[in-house]
Amino acid sequence: DTAVSQTPKYLVTQMGNDKSIKCEQNLGHDTMYWYKQDSKKFLKIMFSYNNKELIINETVPNRFSPKSPDKAHLNLHINSLELGDSAVYFCASSPASAGYKYEQYFGPGTRLTVT
């Protein structure tokens, strides 16, 4: 069984459109993340949710809106897509811990191409 899954795997769309990427984890983790990886392979965190509550919102345009309907799902909705949004988007999850040690499990990624 896939631990962290994302749909779709590929997404090609035109500028100005609105699109969503879905993420689900079956690991029972409390924390989920969205990362953006650009063409230079830089991996930047966008959002982090802990038990459906937004914890981290890095400098991301408000066209990006995460939604967490439950602890196992974290979806990413993008409005008014721009060329610069083209990238691979990774979802990840990690277990909550009373301490600080943790490990993130990543999904396979969604390659978004905006034309």
Partner 1 sequence: LAKTTQPISMDSYEGQEVNITCSHNNIATNDYITWYQQFPSQGPRFIIQGYKTKVTNEVASLFIPADRKSSTLSLPRVSLSDTAVYYCLVGGHNTNAGKSTFGDGTTLTVKP
User: Which residues form the interface with partner 1 (CB under 8 A)?
Assistant: 4, 31, 33, 35, 41-45, 48, 50, 55-56, 90, 92, 94-97, 99-109
What is d(CA 105, CA 60) in angstroms, rounded to the nearest whole number? 22
Residue type, 111: R
Give the shortest CB-11-to-partner 1 separation in angstroms: 15
CB of 90 to partner 1, least distance (A): 5
DSSP 85: G
Burial 60-82 (b: 16+ CB within 10 A, else e): beeebebebeebbbbbbebeebe
Nearest 5°: phi and psi at 84? -70, -10
For residues 15 and 102, which CB has a smaller minimum distance to partner 1 in the complex?
Answer: 102
> Least Å distance between CB 13 and partner 1?
20
Shorter beta-carbon distance to partner 1: residue 29 or 85: 29
CB closer to partner 1 out of 3 and 15: 3
